[in-house]
């Protein structure tokens, strides 16, 4: 077995990132990536079985971490009493948005690839995964409020899904448009304020 050439592996990732950014996953070529480094495609196959494996190597770790952390945060929130959830509800979205936006920008290139260049890969519907976590959390809270006798409007699953999907698409717009981190954080504060007030209005809960 040949020893790993760490420099070549890093160079392949950088060259692959440039190629995917310029051409998208579908238009990217391992031959082009190899040519940019002055190596053969065989050199790439020593490290990555195909271009999807190379793409995966660029985004897998931050993509998985974001999903796992977000799921854990929602599970922790769901484990609280209903009274505590309702008391904390106006501030939870702001805390979520803050760490998520900073995480996105700490791994900007990986999430730019997912947002703009992942068509044809398993990450093509990555935002749907995040939205499904939000969907589940929203449904649980609405169900608990109904069971507890709160006089709220019962939102259907389709509306909850539309709202969750729109939220994450809005969040990733900052990445798609290469907004500076500072501007993105302000944008996200405004977006979250809009959504927080909107959820309360839809549920019929007084909101100040």
CA dihedral 139, 192, 184, 100 (to 10 degrees): -40
How many angstroms separate the CA atoms of 105 and 198, rounded?
26
How many angstroms separate the CA atoms of 112 and 176, rounded?
6
What CATH class does 1-48 carry? mainly alpha
Give the domain ranges of the chain: 1-48, 58-203
The pTM score is 0.87
Assess contact for 89 and 78: CB atoms under 8 A.
Answer: no
Assess contact for 188 and 117: CB atoms under 8 A.
Answer: no
Q: What is the pLDDT along the chain (208 residues), one digit of tens a residue?
A: 445 578 898 999 999 999 999 999 999 999 999 999 999 999 999 999 999 999 999 999 999 999 999 999 888 888 888 888 777 665 555 566 688 899 999 999 999 999 999 999 999 999 999 999 988 988 888 888 889 898 888 888 888 889 889 989 999 999 999 999 999 999 988 888 888 788 878 888 776 5
């Amino acid at each position: 077995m040949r020893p790993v050439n760490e420099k070549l592996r890093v160079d392949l990732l950088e060259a692959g990132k440039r190629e995917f950014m310029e051409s998208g996953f579908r238009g990217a070529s391992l031959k082009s990536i190899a040519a940019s480094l002055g190596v053969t495609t065989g050199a790439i196959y020593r490290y990555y079985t195909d271009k999807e494996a190379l793409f995966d190597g660029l985004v897998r770790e931050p993509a998985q971490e974001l999903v796992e952390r977000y799921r854990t945060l929602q599970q922790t929130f769901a484990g609280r009493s209903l009274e505590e959830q309702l008391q904390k509800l106006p501030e939870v979205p702001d805390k979520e948005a803050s760490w998520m936006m900073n995480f996105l920008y700490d791994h900007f290139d990986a999430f730019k690839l997912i947002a703009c260049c992942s068509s044809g890969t398993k990450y093509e519907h990555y935002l749907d995964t995040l939205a499904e976590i939000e969907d589940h959390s929203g449904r649980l809270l609405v169900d608990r409020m109904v069971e507890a006798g709160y006089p709220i409007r019962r939102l259907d699953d389709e509306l909850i899904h539309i709202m969750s999907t729109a939220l994450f698409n809005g969040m990733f717009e900052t990445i798609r448009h290469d907004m500076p981190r500072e501007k993105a954080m302000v944008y996200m504060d405004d977006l979250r304020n809009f959504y927080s007030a909107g959820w309360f209005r839809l549920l019929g809960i007084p909101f100040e």
